[in-house]
Amino acid sequence: MTSESTNQTRVAIVTGGSRGIGNQTAKQLAADGFAVIVNYGSNDAKAEATVKEITESGGQAIAVRADVADEQAVSAMFDLAEQTYGGVDVVVNAAGRMDLSTLADLDLRVLDEMHRINIRGPFVVSQQAVRRLRPGGAIINFSSSVVGLAFPRYSGYAASKGAVEAMTLILAREMRGRDITVNVVAPGPTATDLLFDNNTEENLSRLASAPPLERLGTAEDIAAVVAFLVSPAGHWVNGQVIRANGGAI
C-alpha cells in the first residue's frame, strides 16, 4: 500500500449497499475504518437505516441513490464521494438482479433488464473507478459460483456473471502500473433475500447440503472475504476469481 492511501481515511463505494451482501459489506468496511458511500436503487428507508446503523456505531457513511447502469448518475455519485470525503479508494460492485427461468422460457425483456444491472452496471461503475481511484485501491466485482455449478434455470443469470468475470480479469491487467487491484468474489448460495425470493424450501435445503460445510453461506462470510481483499493484507491478490462457497465446487 502507498503512504498516500495509509495516511488518510480510506473511502469505499458499495453499490447495492442497502441490502444483502452489499449491506453487510458496507457495515464491515465501515467497522474497518472506511468512510462508506451506500449506493442503492430505490429503497430510501433501507439505505438510510444502513447509514444510521453505521453512524450510530461510530462510522462514517452517506446514502446515495443512483442507477448503476446510468453513467451520468454514477459519475455524480463519484463526484459526491470526492466532495464529501476527498477521494475514493475502493469500489465494491454488489448491486445485482436474479431472474430464474429455463433458457427456453426466459422473457427476453427480463433478460435485457437483468443484464443491464448485472453487466452494464459494474462496467459503468468500473469505468468511473478506473478514472478516479487513488493508488493502493481496489475494485471488487461480484460473480456467482453458479457459473461453475451450472444449475438449471440459471442460464440468464449465470451468463451475466460469466461476463463480469471476463471483464474483471481483463481490467486487472489493464490497471498495470496503477497499484490498484481488481478481483471477483463469486459466492455460492448465500442466505439473503435474493436467494430466498427465488427458491423453494426444497431447493434451499438442497443448496444448503451441497457444500462440505453443509450450510448456506451468510452475508457476513462474503463481506469478510471482501474486507480481506481490500485490506493491506489482501493487496497481493489481484486478477483472481474467489469462489467463496464453502467448497461446493
> Hey, how many other C-beta atoms are within 10 angstroms of the C-beta on 158?
19
40 among known catalytic residues: no
Hey, which residues does 74 pair with through a beta bridge? none
Task: Name, in order, each residue with C-beta under 8 angstroms of 128's C-beta and a sequence gap of 6 or more.
Answer: 71, 74, 75, 77, 78, 91
- What SS3 state is found at 132? helix
Question: How far is Cα 53 from Cα 116, in angstroms, rounded to an integer?
Answer: 30
Spatial separation of the C-alpha atoms in residues 248 and 149, rounded to whole Å: 8
C-alpha cell at 174: 489493464
SS3 13: strand
d(CA 87, CA 137): 11
Main-chain dihedrals φ then ψ at residue 112, nearest 5 degrees:
-60, -40
Q: How far apart are CA 55 and CA 27, in angstroms?
A: 10
Which of 31, 85, 38 is closest to 58 using CA atoms? 31
* Catalytic residue ranges: 157
